[in-house]
Amino acid sequence: MAILSVNINKIATLRNSRGGNVPDLLKVAMDLERFGAQGITIHPRPDERHIKYQDARDLKMIVTTELNIEGNPIQSFIDLVDQVKPAQVTLVPDAPDAITSNAGWNTIQHEEYLRDIVAHFKKQGIRTSIFVDPVESMVEGAAKTGVDRIELYTEDYARLYSTDKERAIAPYVIAAKKATELGIGINAGHDLSLENLKYFSEQIVDLMEVSIGHALISESLYLGLENVVNMYKHRLV
């Protein structure tokens, strides 16, 4: 069964909108673990508009499951990961002004660069993952970097799911099969929700982890955080 890692960027966005410490990011992370989340994900940006670099340092002290730090490996991000040493680092090719992640790596074009970054983190015992589109050649390129896992970028799946779920899932099945053949673990994330997660997890049989934030936090406004965490976990069975 894939594990559920909850992205808490939206909690940080709400906190930062008024200053101070309400809601308390660390308490939310601890509550999520208490409710059954099996990991905590954060994605700090250089402008710290939601997750602050200090949040990563503070979360390292209290997270008892797995801390996953996502981001573009600019030098300040590398320095942060070096200091915090999370369970997993996920490399995402975000532009500095990106509202949210909107594409995977071109692992062929950036193979040498990614290989060096992956090697740097793996030397410290940090599991590495690369954010990729569901394209066989991109999965093959990721494998050449020595990465432990890929994270399949699932926005296209989520966008097509309600109209043609078979067509939506097809490229992900192919990409996942290639990853398994190459000995790479499979994570997934972006716009996965209570509506579309069960079918995705049923079709991607080797799925190891999903990282979900925006939908989970939004759904919790209506259904409650503890309830929603368990609803997500039931969809991963």
Name 106's Cβ contacts closer than 8 Å, sequence gap at least 6: 93, 138, 141
Among residues 66, 70, 151, 219, the one annotated as catalytic is 70
pLDDT digits (tens, 9 = 90+) for 142-188: 999 999 999 999 999 999 999 999 999 999 999 999 999 999 999 99
> Residue by residue, what is the 3-state secondary structure of 95-121?
CCCCCCCCCCCCCCCCHHHHHHHHHHH
pLDDT digits (tens, 9 = 90+) for 110-139: 999 999 999 999 999 999 999 999 999 999
User: If you search the block for the tokens 């997993």, which residue do you land on?
Assistant: 88
Clarify whether 70 is annotated catalytic: yes
Among residues 33, 43, 66, 209, the one annotated as catalytic is 43
- pLDDT at residue number 94: 78
Do the beta carbons of residue 21 and residue 48 sit within 8 Å? Answer: no
- pLDDT at residue number 1: 87
Clarify whether 50 is annotated catalytic: no
Q: Which residue ranges form the domains of the chain, and what is each CATH number? A: 3-235 (3.20.20.70)
Among residues 33, 66, 151, 190, the one annotated as catalytic is 190
Clarify whether 190 is annotated catalytic: yes
